[in-house]
A = this chain, B = another copy of it.
């Protein structure tokens, strides 16, 4: 039986501030789910009433626009919490969470989290810091969106994916996003994204083999991104 104690999510999030007793409470209240690639964990407008721990897989938080495009706000990977913001604000989800690769998640009810928040200062401080971290990142993204060209943002995003998810044995990026998803991350049209990837390929900065992307010249990509 999994007691949450050794879980990667516990090791990497505000949950690390919980004591033994609290972890046991946590283990008893959680529910585990499996989510297949493409399926939603929750959708914009859903009242989630708790948070999701990502034990395995990759998810995306996105918002559908009027013109049918899906803007990706954030990717989440194993070891992260999901849905904290709307739980704290007491609001329906502002974004849709979907699996980009098969996921395993645990659901922790709101009452549990609020309990920890009220009785464990270290926990509340950590949680707060996480949200602040997200805010900082979001603000910086916002600035990048305005101040950088699509080409710069693509380079930046490729480097981010490399840093954040790492590479396979063949050095290709571990996360497999469709071109459409990648376009959704950098905020551009799918065709523009494909075209620029193709340019980067021709320039020898990356190598495209089917859906796999290999970053060949990190230095040059960094130079473009700045």
Contacts and interface: CB of A to CB of B under 8 A. Distances in A.
B147 A226 contact: no
Interface stretch (A124-132, A172-180, A191-199): A124-132
Nearest to A125: B117
> How many monomers of this chain does the complex have?
2
A113 to B, nearest CB: 11
A141 interface: yes
Contact of A147 (B67, B117, B124): B67
A187 interface: yes
A125 to B, nearest CB: 7
Contacts of A69: 147
Contacts of A118: 121
Contacts of A127: 128
How many chain A residues sit at the interface, stated as a range, is: 35 or more
Contacts of A71: 142-143, 146-147
Contacts of A117: 121, 124-125, 128
A53 B79 CA distance: 36
Contacts of A145: 142, 145-146, 187
A94 interface: yes
Contact of A138 (B88, B129, B135): B135
Which of A89, A90, A132, A141 has most chain B Cβ within 10 Å? A132
30 contacts: A63-B139, A66-B147, A66-B226, A69-B147, A71-B143, A73-B142, A85-B136, A88-B125, A88-B128, A88-B132, A89-B136, A90-B129, A94-B139, A94-B140, A117-B124, A117-B125, A117-B128, A124-B124, A127-B128, A131-B131, A131-B132, A135-B135, A135-B138, A138-B138, A138-B139, A141-B142, A142-B142, A145-B146, A146-B188, A147-B187
Given A66-B226, A88-B125, A128-B131, 14 more contacts: A65-B143, A69-B147, A73-B142, A88-B128, A94-B140, A95-B139, A127-B128, A131-B131, A131-B132, A142-B142, A145-B145, A145-B146, A146-B187, A147-B187
